[in-house]
Amino acid sequence: MITIMPRWMNYMATTTQPIFTPKQCEMVIQNGHKQKLEVAQVGISKSGSAVNTKKRTTTIAWIPFKEMPEMYSQVETTMQKTNLNHFGFENMRITEPAQFTEYPKGGFYDWHMDLDCNGILEPPVRKISMTILLSDPSTFKGGELEFMEKTKIPDLKQGQAIFFASFIRHRVAPVKKGIRRSLVMWFGGTPFK
């Protein structure tokens, strides 16, 4: 017997329109700059994370839930609709604060998955990852979000989001000019069944 996934089920979905206006994107950028910017680390182990500039070069900041509750509410509503229409995962919710990222010229993040493969920080299990492009695409070159499955995704507009299953390998290609800013979030729930 062969089981075929329903047509509606997909592991990648881009919003048809931006979910943030340029003004809202600027507010997120300003809030990100208010937080403690840090060099992004890679990997999770019993001894912690480490900076690895051969794997990732970017700065990040964590946006506390209490500082932008409307943003979190807007993103969660969009995620719930996207999950219902494309993924079908159970018990989904925001599981951790949003990550504001800045990729300067030369910045990148090599191939990776967003799952905690060692299970050190789970449950909840990361199931859906999301990226919202905060920068105006005309202000930077390079920095494309790419998927190992060679799935062609449309070029994101400012404020537009892409949701994808956290187990899909992806990367951010090197930025060739300008600064690419984005908001990254993860959503999780009970373990996959």
Domains of the chain by residue range? 12-44+51-189
**Record: fold of 12-44+51-189:** Jelly Rolls (2.60.120)
Compute the distance between CA of residue 28 and CA of residue 161 in angstroms, rounded to an integer: 14
Percent of the chain with pLDDT over 90: 59
Contact yes or no for 147/10 (Cβ under 8 A): no
Q: Which residues pair with 59 in a beta bridge?
A: 39, 102
Query: Taking the mean position of all CA atoms in its chain, how far away is CA 10?
Result: 17
Contact yes or no for 60/38 (Cβ under 8 A): yes
Q: What is the pLDDT of residue 152?
A: 75
Angle, alpha carbons 170-15-108 (nearest 5°): 30
Q: Residue 97: is the preceding peptide bond cis (ω within 30°)?
A: no
- Cβ neighbourhood burial of 47 (10 Å; 0-12, 13-18, 19+): exposed
The pTM of the full predicted model, rounded to 2 decimals, is 0.88
Is pLDDT larger for residue 49 or for residue 146?
A: 146
- The pLDDT confidence band at residue 52, using thresholds 50, 70 and 90, is low
Instruction: Please name the residue that has the structure tokens 């900076």.
Output: 51
Question: Using one digit for the tens of pLDDT, what is the confidence trace for 55-101?
Answer: 788 999 999 999 999 999 999 999 999 999 888 898 899 989 999 99
Percent of the chain with pLDDT over 70: 84
To 10 degrees, the CA torsion angle through 154, 157, 159, 160?
-20
Token readout for 186 is 């993860």
Of 6, 101, 87, whose CA–CA distance to 57 is shortest? 101
State the average pLDDT over residues 173-190: 94
Compute the distance between CA of residue 1 and CA of residue 15 in angstroms, rounded to an integer: 35
Contact yes or no for 183/33 (Cβ under 8 A): no
